[in-house]
């Protein structure tokens, strides 16, 4: 069987990118697979082809890897033109839709039409209401809040990239000046604005590293605007599809003659006019551009299958497969992993959670449950593995409020091998969410692959997780108390913990290992409808891809 796999570049950092990389070797044992990526991200010699070159009739199936990621937006028009099967990871495709249809963020009549087309009348009403609500801007002091407002990408090891237009809202008590340490790639023009005033203007004839220093008196709201080349050579070499402006490696403030650098954090999705759709994102699935165009689906839950069939209101081939999991329980030893944690932790009950520390990941409830268990005599320690988002969650205040300063360790973002080692130190792993995008839990899958039991939110899209390896808690009322009861019970019952760990390994071996997932997918694709691509659709796809590439290069 020949499969054309439409995905983001294998070098791109993303959860669904990780899924693709891990599935691919097992898929290739069972079928001929060729990878196609967006034309502007194509790099010769990396084992992929540009999406404009695809000839559907050369393949038995076209398979798209789609989730709620901006980089997946290019697949929407491809689905319309070529058809194919979607491996759908999220029900809510808000970020992807906004990237593919910018009018959703800009508003107006075109935005309203897009909202109706992507989500229906009900979603359009929610969208319209959300557009009227102004997102909170950091023009008033917010303790510990990030200065990054709109237009910033995910945090990297040495700093963070802006998009072509980004905002800074700088409010720091007693600060007399601020300083930005920036990298400007060759060929870019930087404008630093305060309102309508241009404070700095720099054209980089070569790669430049600069420091911009500005006086402060109260709040300082800046806009960074960048024009010129879109992709650097480094981006092309690393298959990075983002529109990048400048790289901010450090922001620091001067107080009493001394400079102090602050940690950098990613921002919420806030448009330039300050209108925040983020607060309503979970009520705006914006997925009809995918759900109503695909010929078939592969999903991770019965719940998502039912949602697809209900939305399409027509017979639709849908396969349910587990989220793939690799066997890793022999790679890390619990005692060795704990040796890297504070000495006082090593004999206590350790709870670990993997993922970005956001409000909807229920971090506050996890800490509350742990604090309640400590009040009942259980020595619970909480290991939070992931990037902080202080604009969304004031984690330090929550830890202080619960008197858990010595009982919580926050690692920040870490590479995957390090994350696995840290998870291995835990007695049990916790991955909560609510509200939700409707996808499978990658964090829970990582924990099961390490032979750990997990505690998850009682959500329909997670119903397929093995009941004998999983404990559940309600979302909302009773959440913290249920977590407390689980911690108390597990800490006093080592046999139950071992039973859950054994069940986790059995689930991986018998159902969820990547080899099982690949085998099931290939057998289903043999039965699914072949892509409905026409000559006109092939030409439309090629033109659209190449046009986007030219626009990116300008």
In the structure, what pLDDT confidence band is assigned to residue 269 with cuts at 50, 70 and 90? Answer: very low
474-485 mean pLDDT: 92
316 and 185, same domain (yes or no): no
All residues at 6 or more sequence positions from 208 whose CB lies less than 8 Å from its CB, including other chains: 183, 184, 202
Q: Indicate the helix (H) or strand (E) that contains 252.
A: strand 247-255
The residue assigned the tokens 């499978």 is: 440
3-state DSSP call for residue 489? helix
3-state DSSP call for residue 310? helix
Query: What is this structure's pTM?
Result: 0.73
Query: What is the widest separation between alpha-carbon atoms in the chain?
Result: 71
355 and 300, same domain (yes or no): no
262, 297, 315 — which closes off a domain? 262
112 found inside a domain: no
DSSP class of residue 279 equals G
Q: What are 311's two structure tokens?
A: 């939305």
**CATH number of the domain encompassing residue 380:** 3.40.50.2000
238 and 363, same domain (yes or no): no
117 found inside a domain: no
In the structure, what pLDDT confidence band is assigned to residue 335 with cuts at 50, 70 and 90? Answer: confident
Q: Indicate the helix (H) or strand (E) that contains 351.
A: strand 349-354
Calculate helix-pair angle for 416-424, 442-449, nearest 10 degrees: 60
Per-residue pLDDT for 266 more than 60? Answer: no
458-484 mean pLDDT: 93
Question: What is the residue-averaged pLDDT of the chain?
Answer: 84
231 found inside a domain: yes
438 and 394, same domain (yes or no): yes
DSSP class of residue 138 equals S
505 and 519, same domain (yes or no): no
484 and 352, same domain (yes or no): yes
118 found inside a domain: no
In 3D space, the residue among 491, 452, 478, 500 whose CA is nearest the CA of residue 374 turns out to be 491
Provide the H-helix boundaries in 277-362: 288-291, 302-312, 334-338
CA atoms of 449 and 297, how far apart (whole Å):
25
375 and 466, same domain (yes or no): yes
Tens digit of each residue's pLDDT (9 = 90 or more) over 361-396? 888 899 999 999 999 999 999 999 887 765 566 777
Angle at 520 between CA 518 and CA 521, to 5 degrees: 65
391 and 476, same domain (yes or no): yes
Per-residue pLDDT for 206 more than 80? Answer: yes
530 and 447, same domain (yes or no): no
Per-residue pLDDT for 276 more than 60? Answer: no
148 found inside a domain: no
3-state DSSP call for residue 15? helix
Per-residue pLDDT for 3 more than 70? Answer: yes
pLDDT of residue 90: 92
pLDDT of residue 204: 87
Per-residue pLDDT for 57 more than 50? Answer: yes
341 and 428, same domain (yes or no): yes
3-state DSSP call for residue 526? helix
342 and 316, same domain (yes or no): no
pLDDT of residue 167: 82
- For residue 526, the enclosing domain spans 2-93+287-324+515-553
**CATH number of the domain encompassing residue 200:** 2.60.120
543 found inside a domain: yes
140 found inside a domain: no
Instruction: Count the neighbouring beta carbons within 10 Å of the beta carbon of residue 183.
Output: 17
Query: Per this entry, what is the length of the chain?
Result: 554
**CATH number of the domain encompassing residue 523:** 3.40.50
Counting the structural domains of the chain, the total is 3
Burial of 335 (0-12, 13-18, 19+ CB in 10 A): exposed
496 and 540, same domain (yes or no): no
269 found inside a domain: no
3-state DSSP call for residue 14? coil
């Amino acid at each position: 069987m020949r499969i054309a796999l439409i995905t983001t570049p294998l070098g791109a950092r993303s959860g669904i990118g990780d899924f693709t990389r891990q599935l691919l070797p097992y898929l290739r044992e069972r079928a001929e697979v060729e990878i196609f990526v967006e034309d502007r991200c194509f790099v010769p010699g990396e084992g992929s082809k540009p999406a404009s070159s695809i000839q559907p009739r050369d393949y038995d199936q076209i398979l798209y890897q789609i989730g709620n990621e901006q980089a997946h937006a290019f697949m929407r028009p491809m689905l319309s033109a070529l058809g194919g099967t979607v491996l759908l990871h999220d029900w809510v495709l808000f970020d992807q839709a906004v990237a593919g249809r910018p009018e959703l963020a800009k508003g107006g009549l075109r935005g309203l039409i897009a909202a109706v087309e992507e989500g229906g009348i009900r979603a359009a009403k929610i969208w319209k209401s959300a557009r009227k609500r102004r997102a909170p801007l950091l023009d008033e002091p917010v303790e510990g809040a990030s200065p990054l407002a709109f237009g910033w990408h995910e945090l990297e090891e040495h700093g963070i990239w802006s998009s072509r237009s980004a905002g800074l809202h700088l409010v720091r008590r007693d600060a007399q000046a601020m300083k930005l340490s920036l990298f400007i790639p060759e060929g870019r023009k930087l404008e630093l604005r305060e309102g309508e005033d241009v404070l700095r203007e720099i054209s980089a004839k070569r790669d430049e590293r600069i420091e911009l220093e500005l006086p402060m008196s109260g709040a300082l709201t800046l806009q960074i605007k960048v024009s010129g080349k879109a992709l650097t050579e480094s981006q092309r070499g690393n298959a990075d599809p983002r529109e990048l402006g400048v790289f901010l490696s450090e922001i620091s403030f001067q107080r009493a003659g001394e400079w102090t650098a602050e940690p950098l954090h990613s921002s919420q999705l806030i448009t330039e006019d300050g209108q925040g759709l983020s607060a309503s994102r979970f009520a705006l699935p914006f997925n009809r551009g995918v759900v109503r165009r695909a010929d078939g689906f592969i999903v991770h839950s019965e719940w998502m299958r039912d949602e697809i069939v209900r939305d399409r209101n027509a017979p639709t081939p849908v396969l349910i497969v587990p989220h793939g999991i690799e066997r890793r329980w022999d790679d890390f030893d619990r005692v060795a992993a704990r040796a890297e944690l504070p000495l006082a932790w090593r004999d206590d009950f350790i709870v670990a959670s993997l993922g970005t520390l956001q409000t909807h990941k229920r971090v506050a409830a996890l800490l509350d449950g742990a604090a309640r268990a400590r009040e009942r005599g259980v020595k619970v320690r909480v290991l939070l593995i992931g990037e902080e988002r202080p604009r969304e969650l004031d984690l330090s205040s929550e830890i202080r409020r619960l008197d858990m300063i010595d009982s919580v360790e926050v690692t920040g973002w870490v590479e995957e091998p390090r994350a696995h080692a840290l998870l291995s130190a835990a007695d049990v792993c916790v991955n909560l969410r609510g509200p939700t995008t409707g996808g499978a839990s990658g964090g829970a899958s990582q924990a099961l692959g390490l032979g750990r039991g997990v505690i998850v939110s009682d959500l329909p899209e997670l119903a397929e997780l093995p009941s004998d390896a999983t404990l559940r808690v309600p979302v909302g009322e009773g959440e913290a108390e249920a977590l407390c009861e689980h911690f108390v019970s597990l800490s006093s019952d080592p046999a139950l913990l071992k039973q859950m760990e054994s069940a986790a390994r059995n689930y991986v071996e018998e159902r969820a290992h990547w080899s099982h997932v690949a085998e099931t997918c290939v057998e289903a694709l043999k039965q699914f409808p072949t892509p409905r691509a026409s000559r006109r659709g092939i030409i439309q796809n090629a033109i659209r891809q190449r046009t986007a590439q030219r626009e990116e290069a300008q």
